[in-house]
Amino acid sequence: MNLTRKAVIMNQEEMRRAILRISYEIIEANRGIADLVLVGIRKRGAPLAERVQKHLKEIEGVQVPLGVLDITLYRDDISAIGANPLVESTEIPVSIENKVVVLVDDVIFTGRTVRAALDAVMDYGRPRSIQLAVLLDRGHRELPIRADYVGRQVPTSLREIVKVCVQETDGSDEVTISEIGEE
């Protein structure tokens, strides 16, 4: 696939501020952090959830339980071309019965990843509620799913690719937008 990089739409500082704001919004919406469980969706939701956990600790002084979710077994949308589904571990270290689960992911697009994540979480227990935090919402939903906490809304075309890079796996923090070129 021929990709042309168009712009950096978030730099390291902008990402930090967005995640910090999301952390405050989570506290505000839930009137504190009692009963919260953070669950990052692999891959890039996991390090972002860890950052939210760190902010919550700094603000409220309490460590919120953190899990990581692999949704490969639950997906319905990996295309035959170029996809190589790889099952990795899911670790949710506490019971989520009657807890408020906050799912964290990098981008919300069609909504299918979140649908798969909801199924996966339900197989682990029955939370009181499930909320969703994303760094970016790029539109084009195919399912009636929305995020509760959004770092930035980014209008995109279907020819564009939004890529979130994080220090932990990519060596730097930035969000870029690229366009798929003509074949």
Query: Are 115 and 143 within 8 A, CB to CB?
Result: yes
Determine, following the binding rule CB under 8 A, whether residue 34 of this chain makes contact with other proteins: no
Question: Least separation, in Å, of the C-beta of 158 and other proteins?
Answer: 8
Nearest to 101 by CA among 177, 38, 169: 38
For residue 94, CA distances in Å to 15, 37, 121, 145, 162 come to 28, 8, 12, 26, 33
- Closest approach of other proteins to the CB of residue 86, in Å: 6
Q: Quick one: which of 47, 53, 74, 135 contacts other proteins (CB under 8 A)?
A: 74
Nearer to other proteins (CB atom), residue 95 or residue 129 = 95
Does 7 bind other proteins (CB under 8 A)? Our answer is: no
Q: Which listed range, 18-26, 30-38, 46-54, 90-98, lies at the site for other proteins (CB under 8 A)? A: 90-98
Output the smallest distance, CB 129 to other proteins, in A: 18
Element (H, E) at 43: none
Nearer to other proteins, 48 or 107 (CB): 107
We find the least distance from the C-beta atom of residue 19 to other proteins, in angstroms, to be 18
**Residue 80 sits in the site that holds other proteins (CB under 8 A):** yes
Write the single-letter amino acid at 124. Answer: Y
Nearest to 22 by CA among 165, 131, 161: 131
Pick out residues in 42-71 that bind other proteins (CB under 8 A).
70
Cα atoms in the 13 Å half-sphere on the side-chain side of 49? 25
Tell me the closest approach of the beta carbon of residue 56 to other proteins, in angstroms: 25
80-109 b/e (C-beta count within 10 Å ≥ 16 → b): eeeeeeeeeebebeeebeebbbbbbbbbbb
Q: Give least dist CB 14 to other proteins, A.
A: 18
Q: Are strands 174-180 and 3-10 parallel, antiparallel or unpaired?
A: antiparallel
Residue numbers at the binding site for other proteins (CB under 8 A): 70, 72-80, 82-90, 92, 95, 106-113, 119, 122-125, 161-164
